[in-house]
Amino acid sequence: MLILGGTSEARALAGSLPGFAVITSLAGRTSSPLLPAGEVRIGGFGGADGLAAFVQTQNIDVLVDATHPFAATISANAAQAATRTGVPLIVLRRPGWTEQPGDQWHRVRDLGEAAALLTSDRLGLSAVRPETKPRVFLTTGRQGIAAFAGVDAWFLARSVEPPEPPMPRDLEVLLDRGPFTLDGERRLLADHHIDVLVTKDSGGPDAKLAAARERGLPVVMVNRPPAAATAHTVTTVAEATECLTGLLR
């Protein structure tokens, strides 16, 4: 089995599958990734063609896409490779977040729309800080920071690895890896006087959303890219394990 990984769900799945020889593939975007059980390969495949060739040469029986919900390119390549090779594809994707009472979410299609929303003042940020720049907490990953390079605001960006230019002029980078606690997120928002949170609908632990809700902060929520319609999708490791056990039988 080949798992396209990089998520906590992928690591859990790789360690819970007796009966399968598991290869987990990581994109290689972080210098010190958390490694799963079993064989690990790091780096790209060379598009859908390269992935299909790997599936065939390595005699892969089942392909699992357990990548980040926003890893649209590799997910599309996985769907194409599965179609070309006839290998079953299972997508393991954690559910997205659901708006709760008290939330002030503003959903956008992509990071460009998120940046435009910050500059439009539809969030009312000028009323919060009429004489200074709004203070924005970015949790979009280091590759998403460039989209905000032209926004006149102060940014706190949290990522596992340092970002690369272009970047906003007023930027503080916090290098950290989750999961994060609610108390920790409360302190972070308070200590940095955050006015608005910008994040992706990644699902999973939502301490930062709960902390923003408590403080009455607006949240700019970037929607997920559409999933491949041809794949069998599950939302938990247990569901994936059950599905894969059925294939093994």
Shared domain for 88 and 53, answered yes or no, is yes
Same domain for 132 and 81: no
Question: pLDDT digits over 49-103, tens only?
Answer: 999 999 999 999 999 999 999 999 999 999 999 999 999 999 999 999 999 999 9
> Does some domain include residue 158?
yes
> Among all chains, which residue has been given the structure tokens 């108390």?
183
42 phi/psi in degrees, rounded to 5: -125, 130
Q: Are 147 and 167 in contact (CB under 8 A)?
A: no
* pLDDT tens digit sequence for 155-200: 999 999 999 999 999 999 999 998 899 999 999 999 999 999 999 9
Same domain, 196 and 169: yes
Rounded Cα distance, 242 and 26, in Å: 24
CATH number for the domain including 122? Answer: 3.40.50
Burial of 75 (0-12, 13-18, 19+ CB in 10 A): buried
Whether residue 32 lies inside any domain: the answer is: yes
Q: Which residues, at least 6 apart from 234, have a Cβ–Cβ distance to it below 8 Å?
A: 90, 91, 92, 93, 240, 243
Is 238 within the bounds of a domain?
yes
Q: In terms of residue numbers, what domain contains 31?
A: 2-94+225-248
The total number of structural domains in the chain stands at: 2
Output the domain CATH number for residue 13: 3.40.50.720
Tell whether 45 and 109 lie within a shared domain. Answer: no
Establish if 60 belongs to a structural domain: yes
Whether 99 maps to a domain, the answer reads: no
Q: Does residue 54 fall inside a structural domain?
A: yes
Are residue 119 and residue 197 in the same domain, yes or no?
yes
